[in-house]
């Protein structure tokens, strides 16, 4: 199922399988012939590479905590940083949106950015999820109270999370980062390379690792955090082995304007088609985001269609009944066992009316990837840099935010107990906390993907059986609810 991938620095083809590097000595680094002298100005406690959602939240979590706010932090982001005002100047939502779960919202509150995000009035809570496929069954419809009931939890919270544009959240966090005196934001500068790094030397001496920026500036850090996303330069340079596979799918995304609705725009819809899932994420002010994951040829076809034809395809993919021969093993068994007593065709599901396409379409290649080592001496990976998942479960950032919470707590403990913040033992604790959780979620999402994109009779039968037991807690329903809520049910020791 998974393949071991250890990407070489010059190799961008993630399909390639390269042997696990057993060597501790890392040798593909910048030449440091132009080494600048180390002085207090270019030495940082923390160097965070990447000011995306995860890296910027990490900086904020350090700056906003009274035990760690004195730490000197460098946050390096290669792209241009927009102000919050710029991100909302266009009334049409950006095509990159994220469903943030309640744990992530809690983190936003704790780092003091939630009020800014809320003030944009571009946040949309969702409290219902509908998942169905093309089998003809009604699918799964759940609300937060279902989850609470399952957990025997009397929590009255009825919001499952919020759908918000990615750039609004990032700019709100970065606006907060700018308030901290001890955090230096290096904008529109990228980390070119990690300078000569040898694990043994770093472990056994006081030599600090350093990075070179695109303007040739060198920064030294007690701890270097790789929050530089799925194509992490830090991970490539350190040749950290990882396990994963490409899905041979792309996610085609766009923004729609919805028509008048009788009910609040607070349901997240996802239908599993034989080619992959299509999701409609409700946005504030009557908009919605489409994330359509499909094979590469189909994705290209969708990108090239004219707007009108594309919209037709979107509507059909949610509403049209598949033509079934009713002669497969499962159809016969289903009839005999009366698994579909209401005789549903699957298109009875209420969908909000789609008015128009209001954005360009873009696509993102999809793969799953999990890094073997979350930490090396004075180095740590968080977010997509250490784990990538399929977007169908909307968990990528949420996992990254859980990394932020865990790592900032570990750094806080190190400071409070007088440890060096790059102490390998403390960093190992971070890995021990996050690795099993991330792996469980990765495997749960991959299981769902395999279950829904596999069209063999046996798998279709198992899937439909799960879909048919709507009011029971079938393993499938529990899996979907768990994954949606960020609580995977797959367990291992
Ligand atoms: C279509 C789609 C839909 C998704 N929907 C959801 C969802 O609903 N919910 C969810 O939780 N997740 C979702 N995800 C996943 C989510 O987008 C990622 O998990 C998330 O963006 C990862 O954040 P990150 O900060 O770790 O990495 P990134 O967002 O990749 O950020 C990395 C940052 O590092 C910077 N950078 C990179 N290299 C360097 C360098 N050398 N020097 C300096 N800076 C550098 C980049 O400019 C970037 O800003 C979705 C993904 C896709 C593709």
Summarize the confidence of residues 329-333 as an average pLDDT: 48
Summarize the confidence of residues 189-200 as an average pLDDT: 93
Per-domain residue ranges of the chain: 3-485
Ligand 1 contact via 214 beta carbon (within 6 Å):
no
Ligand 1, residues 171, 282, 384: which to mutate, most atoms within 8 A of Cβ? 384
Ligand 1 contact via 242 beta carbon (within 6 Å):
no
The helix or strand, by DSSP H or E, that contains position 303, with its residue range, turns out to be: helix 296-304
Answer with the residue of higher pLDDT: 198 or 24: 198
Instruction: State percent of the chain over pLDDT 90.
Output: 62
State the closest ligand 1 atom to the C-alpha of 385, by its place in the atom list counted from 1: 26
Give residue 447's pLDDT: 84
- In the reported structure, the alpha carbon of residue 275 is separated from the centroid of ligand 1 by a whole-number distance in angstroms of 24
Give residue 155's pLDDT: 45
According to DSSP, the β-strands at 43-49 and 73-77 are: parallel
Q: What is the pLDDT of residues 20-38, one digit of tens each?
A: 333 344 445 665 544 567 7
Q: Which residues lie below 8 Å from residue 97, measured CB to CB, with a gap of 6+?
A: 163, 164, 165, 166, 281, 283, 289
Q: Helices 475-485 and 457-468 sit at what angle, rounded to 10 degrees?
A: 80
pLDDT at residue 13 above 50? no
- In the reported structure, the alpha carbon of residue 366 is separated from the centroid of ligand 1 by a whole-number distance in angstroms of 12
Ligand 1 contact via 237 beta carbon (within 6 Å):
no
Give residue 467's pLDDT: 56
Give residue 4's pLDDT: 47
- In the reported structure, the alpha carbon of residue 391 is separated from the centroid of ligand 1 by a whole-number distance in angstroms of 11
In the numeric block, which tokens belong to residue 268? 């997240």
Give residue 283's pLDDT: 97
CA-proximal residue: ligand 1, atom 46 (nearest):
50
| Sign of the alpha-carbon dihedral angle for 402, 405, 409, 411 | positive
Ligand 1 contact via 233 beta carbon (within 6 Å):
yes
pLDDT at residue 14 above 80? no
Q: What is the pLDDT of residues 256-300, one digit of tens each?
A: 999 998 888 999 999 988 888 999 999 999 999 999 999 999 999
Ligand 1, residues 49, 52, 171: which to mutate, most atoms within 8 A of Cβ? 52
Summarize the confidence of residues 220-231 as an average pLDDT: 97
Summarize the confidence of residues 445-464 as an average pLDDT: 70
Instruction: State percent of the chain over pLDDT 70.
Output: 75
- In the reported structure, the alpha carbon of residue 79 is separated from the centroid of ligand 1 by a whole-number distance in angstroms of 12
Q: Are 139 and 132 in contact (CB under 8 A)?
A: yes
Q: What is the pLDDT of residues 106-132, one digit of tens each?
A: 999 999 999 999 999 999 999 988 888
In the numeric block, which tokens belong to residue 192? 């070119």
pLDDT at residue 344 above 50? no
Answer with the residue of higher pLDDT: 223 or 340: 223
Give residue 444's pLDDT: 87
Residues 441 and 393: their CA atoms lie apart, in Å, by 10
Q: What is the pLDDT of residues 151-176, one digit of tens each?
A: 333 444 578 899 999 999 999 999 99
Ligand 1 contact via 174 beta carbon (within 6 Å):
no
According to DSSP, the β-strands at 123-126 and 242-258 are: unpaired
Give residue 159's pLDDT: 87
- In the reported structure, the alpha carbon of residue 166 is separated from the centroid of ligand 1 by a whole-number distance in angstroms of 9
Burial of 320 (0-12, 13-18, 19+ CB in 10 A): middle
Q: Helices 102-110 and 53-63 sit at what angle, rounded to 10 degrees?
A: 40
Residues 83 and 89: their CA atoms lie apart, in Å, by 10
SS3 at position 180 = coil
Ligand 1 contact via 98 beta carbon (within 6 Å):
yes
Q: Are 253 and 96 in contact (CB under 8 A)?
A: yes
State the closest ligand 1 atom to the C-alpha of 186, by its place in the atom list counted from 1: 43
Give residue 5's pLDDT: 45
State the closest ligand 1 atom to the C-alpha of 232, by its place in the atom list counted from 1: 38
| Secondary-structure percent of the chain, ordered helix, strand, coil, rounded to 5 | 35, 25, 40
Ligand 1 contact via 164 beta carbon (within 6 Å):
no
Summarize the confidence of residues 51-75 as an average pLDDT: 98
CA-proximal residue: ligand 1, atom 34 (nearest):
50
State the closest ligand 1 atom to the C-alpha of 281, by its place in the atom list counted from 1: 8
- In the reported structure, the alpha carbon of residue 53 is separated from the centroid of ligand 1 by a whole-number distance in angstroms of 7
Given pLDDT bands bounded at 50, 70 and 90, which one contains residue 393? confident
* Residue whose entry in the numeric block shows the structure tokens 């799960």: 466
Q: Are 48 and 400 in contact (CB under 8 A)?
A: no
pLDDT at residue 225 above 50? yes
- In the reported structure, the alpha carbon of residue 383 is separated from the centroid of ligand 1 by a whole-number distance in angstroms of 8
Given pLDDT bands bounded at 50, 70 and 90, which one contains residue 489? low
Give residue 15's pLDDT: 37
Asked which of 43-52, 160-169, 399-408, 439-448 is least confident by mean pLDDT, the reply is 439-448
Burial of 214 (0-12, 13-18, 19+ CB in 10 A): middle
Given pLDDT bands bounded at 50, 70 and 90, which one contains residue 221? very high
- In the reported structure, the alpha carbon of residue 296 is separated from the centroid of ligand 1 by a whole-number distance in angstroms of 21
* Residue whose entry in the numeric block shows the structure tokens 């999370």: 161
Residues 470 and 468: their CA atoms lie apart, in Å, by 5
- In the reported structure, the alpha carbon of residue 418 is separated from the centroid of ligand 1 by a whole-number distance in angstroms of 33
Given pLDDT bands bounded at 50, 70 and 90, which one contains residue 455? low
pLDDT at residue 199 above 70? yes
Summarize the confidence of residues 355-382 as an average pLDDT: 96
pLDDT at residue 470 above 60? no
Q: Are 74 and 192 in contact (CB under 8 A)?
A: no
Give residue 136's pLDDT: 65
- Looking at the structure, give the CATH architecture of the domain made up of residues 3-485: 3-Layer(bba) Sandwich (3.50)
State the closest ligand 1 atom to the C-alpha of 253, by its place in the atom list counted from 1: 1
Burial of 280 (0-12, 13-18, 19+ CB in 10 A): buried
pLDDT at residue 228 above 90? yes
Ligand 1 contact via 419 beta carbon (within 6 Å):
no
Asked which of 95-104, 146-155, 209-218, 351-360 is least confident by mean pLDDT, the reply is 146-155
The rounded mean pLDDT for the chain is 83
Give residue 453's pLDDT: 73
């Amino acid at each position: 199922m998974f393949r071991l991938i250890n990407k070489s620095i010059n190799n961008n083809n993630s399909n390639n399988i390269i042997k696990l590097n057993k060597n501790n000595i890392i040798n593909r680094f910048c030449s440091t012939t132009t080494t600048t002298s180390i002085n207090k100005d270019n030495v940082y406690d923390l160097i965070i590479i990447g000011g995306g959602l995860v890296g910027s939240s990490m900086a904020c979590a350090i700056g906003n905590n009274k035990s760690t706010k004195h730490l000197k932090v460098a946050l390096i982001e290669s792209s241009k940083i927009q102000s919050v005002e710029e991100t909302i100047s266009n009334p049409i939502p950006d095509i990159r949106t994220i469903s943030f779960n309640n744990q992530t919202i809690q983190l936003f509150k704790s780092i003091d950015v939630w009020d800014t995000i809320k003030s944009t009035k571009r946040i949309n809570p969702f409290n219902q999820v509908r998942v169905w496929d093309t089998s003809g069954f009604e699918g799964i419809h759940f609300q937060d109270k279902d989850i609470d009931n399952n957990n025997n939890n009397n929590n009255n919270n009825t919001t499952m999370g919020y759908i918000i544009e990615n750039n609004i959240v990032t700019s709100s966090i970065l606006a907060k980062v700018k308030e901290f005196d001890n955090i230096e934001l290096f904008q529109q500068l990228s980390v070119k390379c990690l300078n000569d790094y040898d694990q043994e030397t770093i472990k056994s001496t006081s030599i600090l690792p350093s990075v070179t920026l695109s303007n040739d500036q060198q920064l030294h850090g007690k701890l270097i955090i790789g929050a530089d996303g799925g194509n992490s330069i830090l991970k490539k340079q350190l040749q950290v082995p990882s396990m994963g596979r490409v899905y041979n799918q792309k996610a085609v995304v766009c923004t729609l304007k919805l028509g008048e609705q009788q009910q609040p725009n607070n349901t997240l819809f996802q239908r599993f088609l034989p080619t992959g899932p299509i999701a409609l994420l409700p946005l504030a002010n009557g908009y919605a985001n489409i994330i359509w994951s499909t094979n590469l040829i189909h994705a290209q076809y969708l990108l090239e269609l004219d707007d009108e034809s594309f919209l037709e395809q979107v509507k059909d993919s949610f509403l049209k009944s598949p033509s079934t021969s009713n002669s497969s093993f499962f159809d016969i068994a289903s009839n005999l066992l009366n698994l579909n007593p209401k005789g549903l065709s699957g298109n009875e599901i209420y969908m909000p009316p789609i008015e128009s396409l209001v954005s360009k379409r873009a696509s993102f290649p999809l793969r799953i990837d999990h890094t073997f080592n979350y930490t090396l001496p004075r180095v740590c990976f968080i977010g997509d840099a250490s784990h990538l998942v399929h977007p169908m479960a909307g968990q990528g950032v949420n996992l990254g935010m859980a990394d932020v919470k865990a790592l900032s707590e570990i750094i806080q403990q190190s400071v409070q107990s007088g440890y060096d913040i790059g102490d390998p033992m403390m960093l190992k604790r971070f890995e021990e906390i996050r690795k099993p959780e991330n792996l469980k979620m990765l495997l749960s999402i991959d299981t769902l993907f395999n279950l829904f994109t596999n069209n063999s009779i046996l798998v279709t039968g198992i899937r439909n059986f799960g879909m048919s037991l709507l009011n029971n807690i079938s393993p499938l329903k529990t899996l979907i609810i768990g994954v949606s809520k960020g609580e995977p049910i797959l367990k291992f020791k």
